[in-house]
Structure 1
């Protein structure tokens, strides 16, 4: 999340020293690996927990054990606001870790104030990390102007999972066992209706109640399928296409009618409904793939169908960044470049967790083609749409919560979509007039 509005740069600076001690203590646990006794230790902060945390630990063990020059010592901090606030304070004080993970959508809020250092694209290219090895949208997201601030490990899009047994009984699979193509809102509603007719509960599981991020993920997928994106220039006003926004939100309202999908489902109840075989379709992020496979479901997955003309999917990326250091050790920094290149080249296991590796040699490999259902939605990496860039947007941000607060009653109680979108626009225009608290000049704009 972006730092809370009341957290000034002065408070970042005054908290940095205390934070540095906290981070040191958190990182003292030993990391298994085969790095030599003379290897340099690189401090790596990330916010990955649960299954993702386990997978990342495996990747770190692999890179630590494959060479003798560096040893990664990870520090795992709480997801969301705690992580981003602590990272900002450490960078403001110039005592940050050597490398960190951020959501790509959050970088624009941190770079203008000098909280992040830039990557040397020439050095990266020497290590086989360049634009040619990434989907265009994913690579380009790392730039602000001409400077590269983040390098994506993955794309993690919003997708559509489906139970092949239930969908097969509903007659909505083709000869290859994949969902029949649909190309309009009405066709998708009819597909869900067919699945609902043979499901124990609903045709589609989609949990959103109290979760602005879930509402935003689906909404922005549908909105960008109109072939447009929101523009949020600093100072405002927000550039939002009213017709596209209204069509997208109205469709979501139609979907949640308590027959096709539950009108009052939260995230966990939607997971439980699909995981227990009581629904045939599931709108979710790729990060839920492993838990569904562990449930023993007969599942497949695909990108969300193109309902409004332009293939597009909401996504974010876990991305490597260089938190600002007042006097970086050049030898350690060069080893950070090697570490990132090593992780990217060895990121196949990250794909097994459901994410789409950003490094194309991995996703274009014969082994990845056999990894199912991941290979069935890999094209999403070419179609990703991130949050509209602004200092207050991005994964886990207040922006997504504000969207949920504005539109939840449209989905839950049938409130007027146009009025809800008007409230959302007013809130965003207010935010656009507020300076970025991480930027001492207050000059951070919305354009990346």
Structure 2
């Protein structure tokens, strides 16, 4: 990236990175005090409230700086504006980015790498993070992100229904699709409606999260390298898609449920199981329903789970204040040290001194799935994948009919791969 980018180039780069529409707004100015830090994130709702409390706590510690938050709309609006600000060199001091988006931002100079020596001075080391999470935060041998959490796709269950159906022990020892189907069928007999709630209609993210979890459980990989054809395992994909479709039979689970319907159904006791992200936990706990959670059982032989991570990144700035930058390292370290509060929202803390603490281990059901970072799987690392991009929508465009029972699994997956190959033929926009 150079200082003399044309306006058209900036717009084109930002649009490509965000996968869609533009949101143009004011970027932070260069006249701030060296003790005034700007922090952008896309955390709203309960997560936003918790993050605001954490920032307030760090500010109250009087560490020589003050952090001001800017909260932007989740998804393309956020990532577009972050790309625009970085390309113009007028970005915030620190920002939140999903780990799955790093490959789209780091190569073109939209992010600056973290200095390992300064991290050590702030008390942060590689050994403080799960190996797979730390690895995902790197690009081309440099560290471009510091993980705050891992937020996986998990299996919730109604403990009262499970006990009545006699499947509580079985849920913790499932080893095959057939065993899962048997448990779900028994729960359906208890609820009288469905055994499983899974909302996916019109939601590529939900379709992809379950598919990729089970696909990786077969031991299959998906390698996407620009300029090369996608390396995939079609047989594994067809096996997984066929199984998912078998669950969506209007008995075990609704054939055409969306996210809101699935959550409501589970909340009202009309199902015994629920596939959802850990971010769903606060709603379930607020309803005071009898709920527990565990990693999605290993049904295809290999332990695997889909997840993403919220990470701290250093957006590119044309002029960097060394003093303010050092304060950023301290600020991030202090947020991580307080992240047990962040875990209250269902997330798994990435900072291991917190994740292994007695306070976190006492959180239930959060600590039940605390081992997932050891075998977590993120989106394939390529510039067009990740949270808030169109990658998962491409999956939905080709396989939603398969989920609905109207399409052939092999043809649907072929369509998705063909779409990927077209994107891989294009040069990276930035």
1:436 shift after superposition = 2.0
Match of 2:389 among 394, 397, 416: 397
CA–CA separation in structure 2 for the residues paired with 1:151 and 1:68: 20
Match of 1:280 among 264, 269, 272: 272
Paired residue for 1:342?
Answer: 334
Change (3 A) 1:422 1:359: same
1:268 shift after superposition = 0.6
2:37–2:324 Cα contact (<8 Å) kept: yes
Paired residue for 2:176?
Answer: 184
Change (3 A) 1:14 1:240: closer
Change (3 A) 1:71 1:283: same
1:12 shift after superposition = 5.9
1:166–1:198 Cα contact (<8 Å) kept: yes
CA–CA separation in structure 2 for the residues paired with 1:229 and 1:396: 22
**Structure 1 position 154 matched with structure 2 position 149:** yes
1:173 shift after superposition = 1.1
1:8 shift after superposition = 6.2
1:23–1:75 Cα contact (<8 Å) kept: no
2:171–2:183 Cα contact (<8 Å) kept: no
1:413 shift after superposition = 2.9
2:34–2:324 Cα contact (<8 Å) kept: no
1:236 shift after superposition = 2.4
Structure 1's unaligned 5+ residue stretches are: 1-6, 29-37, 440-448
Paired residue for 2:47?
Answer: 52
CA–CA separation in structure 2 for the residues paired with 1:42 and 1:205: 43
**Structure 1 position 131 matched with structure 2 position 131:** no
TM-score, normalization by structure 1: 0.90
2:51–2:342 Cα contact (<8 Å) kept: yes
**Structure 1 position 86 matched with structure 2 position 81:** yes
Paired residue for 1:432?
Answer: 424
2:14–2:83 Cα contact (<8 Å) kept: no
**Structure 1 position 369 matched with structure 2 position 374:** no
Provide Cα deviations, 1:311-335, integer angstroms capped at 9, x if missing partner.
1100000000000001111100000
What is the correspondence of 1:23-422 to structure 2 with a 5 Å cutoff? Answer: 40-174=35-169, 179-422=171-414
Change (3 A) 1:424 1:13: closer
Provide Cα deviations, 1:334-362, integer angstroms capped at 9, x if missing partner.
00000111111110001001000100111
CA–CA separation in structure 1 for the residues paired with 2:8 and 2:217: 37
CA–CA separation in structure 2 for the residues paired with 1:257 and 1:273: 16
Paired residue for 1:11?
Answer: 11
1:46 shift after superposition = 0.3
2:172–2:297 Cα contact (<8 Å) kept: no
1:116–1:149 Cα contact (<8 Å) kept: yes
Number of corresponding residues: 415
Provide Cα deviations, 1:213-271, integer angstroms capped at 9, x if missing partner.
00000000001112232100101200001111111111111111110000110011001
CA–CA separation in structure 2 for the residues paired with 1:102 and 1:61: 21
1:180 shift after superposition = 3.7
CA–CA separation in structure 2 for the residues paired with 1:229 and 1:329: 42
Structure 2's unaligned 5+ residue stretches are: 1-6, 16-22
Provide Cα deviations, 1:50-102, integer angstroms capped at 9, x if missing partner.
11111111111111111241111000000000000000000000000000000
1:275 shift after superposition = 1.0
1:382 shift after superposition = 1.3
TM-score, normalization by structure 2: 0.93
Question: Greater shift after overlay, 82-91 or 191-200?
Answer: 191-200
CA–CA separation in structure 2 for the residues paired with 1:296 and 1:138: 32
